[in-house]
Amino acid sequence: MEQRIGLIGLGNMGNAILQGILGSNVVPGTQIYVYDTHPEKGEDLNKSDGVNNLASARDVARESDIVFVAVKPNVIVDVLNDIQKELKKNTIVVSIAAGVTIKTIAKSIGYEQKIIRVMPNTPALVNAAMCSITPNTEVTDEELKIVQELLNCIGETEVVPEYLIDAVIGASGSSPAFVFMFIEALADGAVKGGLSRKQAYKFAAQAVMGSAKLLLETGKHPGELKDMVCSPAGTTIEGVHALEEKGFRAAIIDAVEATIKKSKSMAEN
């Protein structure tokens, strides 16, 4: 890929995107420009991968054709206002901030700028992210494909209209936290049954990963896959009953709904 890539913010997500791109060799390190207010985050990269660790967000914006802005939602507007003058007409600005709309971004950098909102998740750290992608009307199909190709370095992508990003946050942006709580609870139960903590995490995590893989690869309905586990008068149906009694599904739907509500309220502010 000939585009020069910028990354502003090298925290959990910025660093995951950077490592994914570097690992895939889609773009060489020398064609990547980064800035974080903690410059030490980019220093080692500079030495080992040739990544350009620059002195300001403005410098990154000036050098890049595609700029990923991976800072927290409460600072993104300041960063966008800061870099606005350095953007070229064709520079694509990619925001991964939760609850920050394309309109808010455009207000800072101009309504004619090419903008893409992406909602990734932390499995990006192991190249297993699920990312939604939403371009504004200035982005061409070819440009969208280029950004999709970059994001494929960290996982899977789906294009969605902007009004559905809140739901994506519930389903995949925030949900890794819920899944980790589930794995922790499964392991706690297994430890109660006598399994060592270390083995309990391995059994529980592998079961979650394997189940997700089974669903994705077979395309079967989750209910059908659940039924395949439940032998008549067996062990699993006892556990299913216990979960239903405790309102397991309703608790998860409530959690996703709470996430969506918060995301919408952030967008309104």
Ligand X SMILES: NC(=O)C1=CN([C@@H]2O[C@H](COP(=O)(O)OP(=O)(O)OC[C@H]3O[C@@H](n4cnc5c(N)ncnc54)[C@H](O)[C@@H]3O)[C@@H](O)[C@H]2O)C=CC1
Ligand Y SMILES: O=C(O)[C@@H]1CCC=N1
Binding site membership: which residues? 8-13, 70-73
Q: Which does 225 bind (CB under 5 to 8 A by kind): ligand X, ligand Y, none?
A: none
CA distance 176 to 16: 15
Provide the residue count of the chain: 269
For residue 156, the cross-strand partners are 130
Q: Which does 9 bind (CB under 5 to 8 A by kind): ligand X, ligand Y, none?
A: ligand X
For residue 34, the cross-strand partners are 7, 53
Site for ligand Y contains 132 (CB under 6 A): no
Between residue 79 and residue 118, which ones bind ligand Y under the rule CB under 6 A?
Answer: 98
Q: How far is the CB of 184 from ligand X (least distance, A)?
A: 17
Binding region for ligand Y (CB under 6 A) out of 148-156, 168-176, 179-187, 249-257: 168-176
Q: How far is the CB of 245 from ligand X (least distance, A)?
A: 32
Task: From 205, 206, 249, select the one nearest 226 (Cα to Cα).
Answer: 249
Site for ligand Y contains 169 (CB under 6 A): yes
With respect to ligand X, which residue has the nearer C-beta, 25 or 37? 37
Site for ligand Y contains 6 (CB under 6 A): no
Contact residues: ligand X, CB under 6 A: 8-14, 35-38, 41, 57, 70-73, 75, 79, 96-98, 119-122, 173
Site for ligand Y contains 174 (CB under 6 A): yes
With respect to ligand X, which residue has the nearer C-beta, 11 or 247? 11
| Residue whose beta carbon is closest to ligand X | 11
Q: Which does 79 bind (CB under 5 to 8 A by kind): ligand Y, ligand X, none?
A: ligand X
Q: Which does 72 bind (CB under 5 to 8 A by kind): ligand X, ligand Y, none?
A: ligand X
Q: Which residues are annotated as a binding site for NADP(+)?
A: 8-13, 70-73
With respect to ligand X, which residue has the nearer C-beta, 46 or 239? 46
Q: How far is the CB of 70 from ligand X (least distance, A)?
A: 5
Q: Which residues bind ligand Y (CB under 6 A)?
A: 98, 169, 173-174
